[in-house]
């Protein structure tokens, strides 16, 4: 399964690094797995409503971030690893959204 960060994971990473007292000012946390925006969009579509139509405008010359893969070598070196997979994090995020927008 593909992994992504969830709010709880970010909180756990912050606590982990506050206790670690590392000298690095920045540490990437998350997964080294990479997905395209289209893959993310289609995964969300399947979870919320299969009738949703997603349109991509491929005619625009937008020079955004080419890669979305973090280098988490330093985090792993310090012993931190994400615990939640993408599917579970997405499910919890959707449920939280539904519950707060009733």
pLDDT in tens, 67-80: 667 788 888 889 88
Domain boundaries, the chain: 7-100
User: Confidence class of residue 2 from pLDDT cuts 50, 70 and 90?
Assistant: very low
The C-alpha atoms of residue 9 and residue 84 are separated, in whole angstroms, by: 7
Q: Convert 5-14 to b/e letters by CB count within 10 Å (16 or more is b).
A: bbeebeebbe
pLDDT tens per residue, range 52-98: 888 887 776 666 666 667 788 888 889 888 777 778 888 888 888 88
Residue 29's nearest CA partner among 65, 93, 66, 74 is 74
pTM higher than the cut 0.75: no
Q: Is the pLDDT of residue 1 over 70?
A: no
- Region for residue 80 given its phi and psi (left: phi exceeds 0; alpha: psi -120 to 50; beta: otherwise): beta
Would you say 13 and 83 are in contact if contact means Cβ atoms under 8 Å apart? no
């Amino acid at each position: 399964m593909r992994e992504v960060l969830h709010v709880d994971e970010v909180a756990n990473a912050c606590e982990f690094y506050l206790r670690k007292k590392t000298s690095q000012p920045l540490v990437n946390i998350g997964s080294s797995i990479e997905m395209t925006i289209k893959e993310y969009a289609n995964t969300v579509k399947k979870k919320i409503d299969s009738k949703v139509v997603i349109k991509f405008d491929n005619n625009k010359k937008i020079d955004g971030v080419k890669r979305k893969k973090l280098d988490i070598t330093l985090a792993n070196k310090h012993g931190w690893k994400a615990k939640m997979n993408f599917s579970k994090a997405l499910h919890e995020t959707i449920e939280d959204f539904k519950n707060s927008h009733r």
